[in-house]
């Protein structure tokens, strides 16, 4: 979350959540994907979802594109795989939310 502390979206701080139940779009949902430890370090894989607040596909894609530019301009964010358009199912919402899935990795020594 600290990675996005200074990031702004539409003149507000970009909302970043780490719990599925805290999602309130537009926001970024950051979750641990896998942890691969080894003797003096390891690799951590994260799933970052950029989530739009509009279910109209044209408007959602426009908003996701705008948010994606902001997220990718954040120092330290480098996708480890292709960025995928997904429908994210969230407990408090009846419909899936339009989102972009970005996989990130961090290796430490």
Tell me what the mean pLDDT of segment 83-103 comes to. 90
pLDDT score recorded for residue 39: 66
Higher pLDDT, 29 or 81: 29
What proportion of the chain, given as a percentage, has pLDDT over 70?
93
Burial of 56 (0-12, 13-18, 19+ CB in 10 A): exposed
pLDDT score recorded for residue 107: 61
Tell me what the mean pLDDT of segment 28-43 comes to. 79
Distance CA(92)–CA(7), nearest Å, equals: 26
pLDDT tens per residue, range 39-86? 666 777 889 999 998 778 899 999 999 999 999 888 878 787 889 999
Which residues, listed in sequence order, are joined to residue 30 by a DSSP beta bridge?
48
**pLDDT-based confidence at 1, cuts 50/70/90?**
low
pLDDT score recorded for residue 17: 94
pLDDT score recorded for residue 99: 96
Higher pLDDT, 22 or 6: 22
User: Residue 66: which H helix or E strand, with range?
Assistant: helix 57-72
What is the rounded (10 degree) CA torsion for 5, 89, 79, 35? 90
């Amino acid at each position: 979350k600290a990675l996005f502390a200074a990031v702004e979206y539409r003149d507000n701080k970009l909302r970043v959540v780490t719990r599925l139940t805290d999602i309130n779009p537009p926001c970024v949902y950051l979750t641990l994907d896998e942890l691969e430890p080894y003797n003096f370090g390891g690799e951590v894989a994260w799933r970052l979802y950029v989530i739009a607040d509009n279910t109209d596909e044209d408007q959602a894609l426009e908003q996701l594109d705008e948010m994606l530019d902001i997220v990718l301009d954040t120092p330290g964010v480098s996708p480890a795989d292709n960025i995928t358009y997904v429908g994210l199912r969230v407990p408090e919402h009846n419909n899936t939310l339009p989102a972009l899935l970005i996989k990130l990795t961090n290796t430490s020594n």
